[in-house]
């Protein structure tokens, strides 16, 4: 074990111990704390080791990965290229404004379904006064959290199931759900009464250059997020809906990462994928809808 990895694990342990109040045992729902052996444990002795890379695995049962490690590696490269930067800027603005409304008191932020962690890491870099914020990223994929934990940001990384979040009731002020499945019963449970949920969903033109090539049937290539928005409205009070639209320049050398990062290309023939390269795509459309909600009043 390298000195660097020891320091990283120790720093993560200190961060978790500092925020132990937000955790609940995924087995018995008891309160948790960091013990002398570097594990998160409860009074009933259910214990979860902090990995050498500095993340917690709080799953109580094995899971079959939905997305491959290759997909998350490709998505990480795409995020690092700046593909989602305008989204990160807007999310950071919303969180900064929310903090002002809360008189700049300490707030906690959860990225539920954080993938390889680029979104919440980008937000941390842009949000002001981070000493008054706690950042937590959760995903059910161990591969994705492995990638997320590579950075040196003060973010608590957890492998956990969105259907059984290992956090206390009302323990978060902001819940992010970015291009990821949602579990609104759990989101409502872990969100405090003054908290906000920000869900990001694809718009009708999201990645349209890829979809128009992959899907020959127009009805299939067209996409509407109306059902997702309507379901959100059933579960939460909608405070605001925003749209973000822009074009991102992409080179032929970088295009393979876009192809690997999206499930759109799964089970597609080599011929269909080759069509993407032959079309000489020079830009890709980013079309996203941000839904800001609060608990039902």
Mind giving me the DSSP string for 222-240?
A: ----HHHHHHHHHHSEEEE
The strand ranges marked E within 117-190 are: 133-139, 155-159, 172-178
CA–CA dist 155, 15 (Å, integer) = 8
Please state, as a whole number, how many other Cβ atoms lie within 10 Å of the Cβ of residue 101.
Answer: 9
* Residues that constitute the known binding site: 25, 28, 42, 46, 84, 116-117, 206
- Annotated binding-site residue numbers for S-adenosyl-L-methionine: 84, 116-117, 206
In sequence order, the 6+-apart residues with CB closer than 8 A to the CB of 258 are 74, 78, 207, 210, 250, 284
Mapped onto helix, strand or coil, the DSSP state of residue 283 is: strand
Q: Rounded distance, CA 168 to CA 110, Å?
A: 12
Annotated binding site for Zn(2+): 25, 28, 42, 46
Nearest by Cα to 259 from 289, 281, 238: 281
Identify whether the C-beta of residue 176 lies closer than 8 Å to the C-beta of residue 119: yes
């Amino acid at each position: 074990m390298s000195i660097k990895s020891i320091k990283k694990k120790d720093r993560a342990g200190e961060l978790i111990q500092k925020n132990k109040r937000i955790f609940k045992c995924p087995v018995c729902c008891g309160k948790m704390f960091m013990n002398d052996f570097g594990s998160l444990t409860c009074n009933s002795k259910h214990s979860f080791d902090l990995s050498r890379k500095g993340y917690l695995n709080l799953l109580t049962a094995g899971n079959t990965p939905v997305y491959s490690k290759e997909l998350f590696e490709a998505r990480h490269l795409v995020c690092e290229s700046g593909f989602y930067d305008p989204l990160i800027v807007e999310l950071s603005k919303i969180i900064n404004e929310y903090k002002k409304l809360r008189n700049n008191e300490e707030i906690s932020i959860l990225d539920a379904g954080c993938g390889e962690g680029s979104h919440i890491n980008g937000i941390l870099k842009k949000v002001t006064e981070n000493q008054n914020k706690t950042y937590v990223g959760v995903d059910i994929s161990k591969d994705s959290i492995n990638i997320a934990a590579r950075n040196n940001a003060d973010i608590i990384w957890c492998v956990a199931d969105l259907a059984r979040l290992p956090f206390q009731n009302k323990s978060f002020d902001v819940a992010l759900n970015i291009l990821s499945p949602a579990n609104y019963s759990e989101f409502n449970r872990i969100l405090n009464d003054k908290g906000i949920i920000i869900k990001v969903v694809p718009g009708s033109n999201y990645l349209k250059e890829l979809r128009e090539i992959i899907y020959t049937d127009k009805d299939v290539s067209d996409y509407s997020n109306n059902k997702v928005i309507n379901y959100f409205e059933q579960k939460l009070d909608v405070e605001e809906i925003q749209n973000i639209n822009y074009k991102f320049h992409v080179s032929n050398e970088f295009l393979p990462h876009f192809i690997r990062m999206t499930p759109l290309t799964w089970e597609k023939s080599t011929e269909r994928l080759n069509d993407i390269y032959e079309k000489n795509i020079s830009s890709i459309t980013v079309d996203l809808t941000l839904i800001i909600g609060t608990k039902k009043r």
